[in-house]
């Protein structure tokens, strides 16, 4: 009975984490995938003190895999993503969420330390301090990973698209290059 309570507590914490990143009914599927992956991988957990970061790494991987699958099958996710807001007002976070779905495959294609750093800080909105604590690295180490990850991500995006910026460096236009390169598993 105690084990069942622990799983419910874990589900209570993971459900909003997944729901912020995956639309509607798909969140439930991703949550089940996370628990399945945890069950399969639990014997390989080496350090029980790192259980929390291990669970969230599995969750992030499941979310990215779900997003990749949605990009490979755009018609299946098109109807759900194209529904208008309930009261006709614009959702302030809609642009950021849409952008994150496009950037996620690029971030997922980065080498491991940069991928985790950018996923936590840029896609999930954690502070660099919190991300450093979660991954068990120093704050300066996390700042370096984020900075280097952003530089690599920028190179990948510039290889893919012609990006127009204004005087302040904000993106105002983006056009795919005719010979663009997408990360593996993107489409």
Q: Tens of pLDDT along 118-138?
A: 888 887 778 999 889 888 999
Residue 152 pLDDT: 93
For 184, what's the count of Cα atoms within 13 Å in the CB-facing half-sphere? 3
Cα dihedral: 12, 13, 14, 16 (round 10): 90
Q: Tens of pLDDT along 88-116?
A: 344 445 555 666 667 778 888 889 899 99
Residue 94 pLDDT: 56
Using the Cα atoms of residue 81, residue 67, residue 21 and residue 9 in order, give the sign of their dihedral.
positive
What does pLDDT average to over the chain?
A: 77
Residue 184 pLDDT: 53
How many whole angstroms separate alpha carbon 161 and alpha carbon 171? Answer: 12
**DSSP-based three-state secondary structure for 172:** strand
Low pLDDT (below 50) residues in the chain: 75-92, 185, 187
Domain ranges of the chain: 1-83
**Strand boundaries in 38-138, DSSP class E:** none
Yes or no: is domain 1-83 CATH 1.10.1740.10?
yes
- What pTM was computed for the model? 0.48
Residue 129 pLDDT: 92
């Amino acid at each position: 009975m105690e084990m069942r309570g622990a799983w419910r507590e874990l589900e209570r914490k993971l459900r909003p984490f997944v729901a912020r990143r995956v639309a509607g009914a798909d969140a439930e599927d991703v949550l089940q995938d996370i628990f399945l992956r945890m069950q399969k991988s639990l014997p390989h957990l080496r350090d029980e003190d790192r259980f929390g970061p291990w669970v969230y790494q599995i969750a992030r991987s499941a979310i990215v895999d779900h997003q990749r699958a949605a990009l490979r099958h755009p018609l299946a996710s098109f109807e759900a993503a194209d529904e208008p807001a309930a009261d006709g007002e614009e959702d302030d976070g809609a642009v950021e969420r849409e952008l994150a779905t496009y950037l996620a495959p690029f971030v997922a294609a980065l080498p491991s330390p940069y991928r985790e750093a950018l996923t936590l800080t840029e896609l999930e909105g954690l502070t660099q301090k919190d991300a450093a604590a979660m991954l068990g690295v120093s704050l300066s180490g996390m700042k370096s990973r984020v900075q280097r990850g952003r530089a690599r991500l920028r190179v990948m995006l510039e290889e893919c698209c012609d990006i127009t910026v204004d005087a302040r460096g904000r993106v105002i236009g983006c056009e795919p290059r005719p010979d663009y390169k997408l990360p593996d598993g993107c489409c």
